[in-house]
Chain A
Amino acid sequence: MESINRAEGKVPLWKLFTAFMRIGAFTFGGGYAMLPMLETECVEKTGWITKEELLDYFAIGQCTPGVIAVNTATFVGKKKRGVLGAFVATAGVVFPSFVIICLIAALLQNFAEIKPVQYALRGIRVAVGVLIINTVVKLIREKLKDWLGYVLCALAFALVAFLDVSPVFVVIGAALVGVVRFLIAGRKGGNGV
């Protein structure tokens, strides 16, 4: 794919830092809200990782401790520039929140009650919803290939959205389904790959 050419050579550390700083600065509302930003910065613009890798990192981030945004930053940084890269990317994603929260804690009491802040947030939430929907639709169109994929996707959605099942169990269950399918295919035809 065309992104491979762009990914060649060493990624400068400052680029890792600024990319993740942008992601940290424009993510409202936690881990999943940053997916569209991550996709733009790490997959489409730079080709640092593939879409599959991004999904894998998210899946792992679901069942490992810590904030998903931070986990993904660590993964991408580690992949591009080793432990130092992991540190720089993680610092980048944390940096904007740190500065903003310190400023608010020091200067602005009742920040969340300020009218324009509330208004802006109502607009932002709508945008976040739209961006996530676009990302999901693209993912489903490009990455789901067989009936089992559609079933797993629909099931995961229903379990978490309507039955409040913890994503941790969904992730573990889906991984087991993948393994079982491989084992069955291997027994049947011999080439389960």
Chain B
Amino acid sequence: MIYLTLIYEFFKIGLFAIGGGLATLPFLTDLADKYPWLTSEMLSEMVAVSEATPGPLGVNMATYAGYMAGIGEFGNGTLGQVLAITTALTATTALVAPSFIVILIVSRMLDKYRSSVLVESAFSGLRPAVAGLIAAAAWSVIKVTLFDFAAWQGFASLLDVVHLPELLLFAVLLIVTNIKRLKKLHPLYIIGSSAAIGICMGYMLNW
């Protein structure tokens, strides 16, 4: 029964993939070895689609895999497409369920021990470290967006290493988002306009 398989597999992934979306990838590779409805080609397509669409990576991949499992089980007809939505929902729910339960428990414990000095002092060490972790995340995005370190072959190759259009957009955005009157601007406007600029630049520069 495909629904039970999906519940079992994705609950397991949700429970053991600690630390974000890409941590689910090794588990999904495992699934591709085990079941006919998931192939390694689908998997690489899935990662690309998950990165190209909004939302948490893990959720995107579970939805995609669940959908494909439905198509594999029920065929590619209209009925298959409709039933695939239910298998996608099953996989996604199963993925989210473990963390939902764990967080509810942790949240209850946190309410209870919030006033404890020991817990508070642990968090006082955690907060600066989390700021550092977020800075590392920023670095990892910037590293791949603005630079291509693999292209480095001495100073003559500098222009291949630095992505100039992106660097320019980066500088402009950094300035614009720090203008006092625009500081409160909702991030979605920045993301939306950058998408538009990206499309324009892409066609103009023939990326």
Residues of A within 8 A of B (CB): 22, 24-37, 40, 44, 52, 55-56, 58-60, 62-71, 74-75, 78-79, 83, 86-87, 90, 93-94, 96-98, 100-102, 104-106, 110-113, 115-136, 139-140, 143-144, 148-150, 152-158, 160-161, 166-168, 170-171, 173-179, 181-182, 192-193
Contact = CB atoms under 8 A, between A and B. Distances in A.
Given A65-B18, A100-B55, A132 B118 contact: no
20 contacts: A58-B133, A62-B130, A64-B106, A67-B21, A67-B57, A97-B54, A100-B54, A104-B53, A111-B48, A120-B195, A127-B173, A127-B191, A132-B138, A136-B134, A143-B127, A149-B128, A153-B135, A156-B133, A161-B135, A170-B133
Interface string B104-147: 10110010000001101111111111111111111111101110
Contact of B135 (A78, A136, A193): A136
A178 B121 contact: yes
Given A121-B198, A154-B132, A96 B55 contact: yes
Contact of A24 (B54, B145, B169): B54
Q: Which of A59, A87, A111 has the most CB of B within 10 A?
A: A59
B54 A86 contact: no
A67 B67 CA distance: 19
Which are the 5 A-B pairs with shortest beta-carbon distances? A123-B198, A66-B99, A178-B125, A97-B55, A119-B202
Contacts of B19: 62-63, 68, 166-168
B93 to A, nearest CB: 9
Contacts of B118: 179, 182
Q: Which of B60, B133, B166 has the most CB of A within 10 A?
A: B133
A101 B48 contact: no
A192 B121 CA distance: 9
Nearest to A44: B184
B125 A56 contact: no
A175 B188 contact: no
B32 to A, nearest CB: 16
B171 to A, nearest CB: 9
Contacts of A58: 130, 133-134
A128 B202 contact: no
A144 B83 CA distance: 51
Chain A contact residues: helix, strand, loop or mixed: helix
Given A67-B20, A122-B202, A168-B19, A157 B127 contact: no
Given A31-B21, A93-B55, A157-B139, 19 more contacts: A31-B20, A44-B184, A65-B15, A66-B95, A97-B53, A98-B88, A111-B49, A116-B202, A119-B202, A122-B198, A123-B198, A128-B141, A131-B191, A144-B128, A149-B127, A152-B128, A161-B140, A171-B126, A179-B118
Interface of B: 14-22, 45, 48-60, 63-64, 67-68, 71, 81, 84-85, 88-89, 92, 95-96, 98-100, 102-104, 106-107, 110, 117-118, 120-142, 144-146, 166, 169-170, 173-174, 177-178, 184, 186-188, 190-191, 193-199, 201-203, 207
Given A112-B52, A121-B52, A139-B131, A105 B138 contact: no
Nearest to B137: A32
A120 B199 contact: yes
Contact of B103 (A22, A71, A102, A173): A71
Contacts of A174: 125-126, 128-130
